[in-house]
């Protein structure tokens, strides 16, 4: 007998759940109760829904799957308390997320895809290519499980883990809407950042969604030639097209853009690069985030020296540009994107563990 695949209930929006419960012959207040169990109380089994009858819980179990991710491993940094989590999906794939404590709150960095097909040459997440998109429920599960495990309220979210969020567009939009939904954790969209390598048409589409999120563009280079060497996606959309899309994003949403600039020694951290960057952004209302590149063992990129990073920053600051250096968190725990997952996948006999 062929088993019927169950629908994943965490991916269902508040309004959709109401409809589905109605179809099951249930009153409206039931869907509210169920949504609250899943998205506020963050339970992991239908049996914990103690204000529902046993019969309804059984019918829900027949139709829906509730826990799409299982926590497999947690690493805690001895340096700054940053925690890195490895989750297993129902189909055996693994994804990773990070919890960082800042003075302004607790920030979670989540993955949007299993693997990535963008091919950035400095990034560990893309080495095995793209396996599949994550569902909204799998993205929510990363946040929920981290909040439950740590006992800390998650206040900020960045989509900077494995994957290209705008390559999983519909699921990411639904995830953002559900995470900010007043019936759920109700995290402010203003505290969410979606980072993209620069899918220009999708940036324009995102601008029109009516969201309040921050958009971060992974810029990393100031000429098309250099950018193409670091990021294959730059062959599809050149800097002019991407920066115009970013301007459109700012004009449409009123949200200030962030440009991420990963500093690689000798590649893009020279004085000329800073000057070129100033030329590109000086008339924009934006924030520059300098990221000392995290070396990965598969590539021979070298992180810029502390003094070169400072020099680069000072140059921008002198021209009145809003710039910060990203604090390196969790250096001692496979800090860079995709490294924990990569290490896990490289383990011999991982299937049997």
Residue number, 120 or 245, with CB nearest to ligand SAH:
120
Using the rule CB under 6 A, is 197 a contact of ligand SAH? yes
Could you tell me if 236 and 267 are in contact, meaning their C-beta atoms sit under 8 angstroms apart? Answer: no
**Which positions ≥6 away from 325 have C-beta within 8 Å?**
289, 290, 291, 292, 309, 310, 313
Of these, 157, 178, 246, 337, which contacts ligand SAH (CB under 6 A)? Answer: 337
Question: Which of the residues 109, 116, 123, 337 is marked catalytic?
Answer: 337
Rounded Cα–Cα distance for residues 212 and 255 (Å)? 7
We find the least distance from the C-beta atom of residue 291 to ligand SAH, in angstroms, to be 5
Q: What is the CA radius of gyration of the chain?
A: 21
Question: Which of the residues 8, 26, 96, 164 is marked catalytic?
Answer: 96
Using the rule CB under 6 A, is 260 a contact of ligand SAH? yes
337 is catalytic: yes
Residue number, 96 or 164, with CB nearest to ligand SAH:
164
We find the least distance from the C-beta atom of residue 69 to ligand SAH, in angstroms, to be 19
**Which positions ≥6 away from 92 have C-beta within 8 Å?**
351
In the window 211-230, what residues touch ligand SAH (CB under 6 A)? Answer: 218
We find the least distance from the C-beta atom of residue 15 to ligand SAH, in angstroms, to be 29
Burial 292-309 (b: 16+ CB within 10 A, else e): bbbebeeeebebbeeebb
Residue number, 118 or 323, with CB nearest to ligand SAH:
118
Residue number, 138 or 260, with CB nearest to ligand SAH:
260
Using the rule CB under 6 A, is 134 a contact of ligand SAH? no
Strand extents, DSSP E, 55-180: 64-65, 69-76, 83-89, 94-102, 105-109, 113-115, 130-133, 154-159
* 308 phi and psi angles, rounded to 5 deg: -65, -35
Rounded Cα–Cα distance for residues 110 and 112 (Å)? 7
Could you tell me if 325 and 296 are in contact, meaning their C-beta atoms sit under 8 angstroms apart? Answer: no
Residue number, 32 or 117, with CB nearest to ligand SAH:
117
Of these, 174, 180, 294, 304, which contacts ligand SAH (CB under 6 A)? Answer: 294
For residue 169, the number of C-alpha atoms closer than 13 Å in the C-beta half-sphere is 13
276 is catalytic: no
The contact set with ligand SAH (CB under 6 A) reads: 118, 120, 122-123, 160, 164, 195-197, 218, 260, 262, 291, 293-294, 296, 336-337
Active centre residues (catalytic): 96, 337
């Amino acid at each position: 007998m062929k088993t019927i695949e169950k629908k994943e209930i965490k991916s269902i929006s508040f309004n959709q759940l109401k409809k589905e419960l109605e179809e099951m012959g249930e009153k409206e207040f039931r869907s509210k109760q169920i949504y609250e169990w899943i998205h506020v109380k963050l339970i992991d089994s239908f049996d914990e829904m103690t204000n529902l009858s046993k019969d309804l819980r059984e019918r829900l179990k027949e139709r829906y799957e509730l826990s799409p991710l299982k926590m497999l491993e947690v690493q805690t940094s001895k340096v700054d308390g940053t925690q890195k989590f490895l989750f297993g999906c129902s189909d055996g794939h693994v994804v990773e997320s990070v919890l960082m404590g800042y003075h302004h709150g607790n920030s979670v960095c989540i993955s949007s895809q299993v693997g990535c097909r963008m091919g950035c040459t400095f990034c560990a997440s893309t080495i095995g290519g793209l396996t599949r998109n994550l569902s909204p429920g799998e993205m929510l599960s990363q946040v929920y499980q981290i909040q439950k495990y740590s006992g800390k309220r998650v206040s900020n979210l960045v989509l900077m883990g494995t994957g290209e969020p705008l390559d999983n567009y519909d699921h990411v939009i639904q995830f953002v809407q559900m995470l900010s939904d007043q019936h759920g954790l109700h995290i402010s969209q203003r505290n969410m950042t979606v980072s993209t390598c620069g899918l220009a048409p999708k940036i324009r589409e995102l601008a029109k969604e009516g969201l309040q999120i921050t958009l971060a563009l992974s810029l990393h280079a100031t000429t098309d030639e250099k950018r193409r060497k670091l990021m294959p996606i730059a062959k599809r959309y050149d800097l002019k097209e991407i920066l115009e899309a970013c301007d459109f994003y700012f004009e449409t949403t009123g949200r200030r853009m962030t440009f991420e600039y990963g500093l690689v020694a000798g590649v893009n951290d020279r004085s000329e690069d800073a000057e070129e960057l100033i030329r590109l952004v000086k008339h924009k209302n934006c924030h520059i985030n300098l990221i000392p590149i995290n070396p990965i063992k598969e590539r021979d990129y070298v992180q810029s020296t502390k003094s070169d990073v400072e020099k680069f920053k000072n140059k921008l600051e002198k021209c009145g540009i809003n710039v910060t250096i990203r604090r390196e968190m969790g250096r001692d725990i496979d800090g860079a994107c995709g490294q924990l997952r990569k290490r896990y996948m490289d383990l011999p006999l991982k299937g049997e563990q």
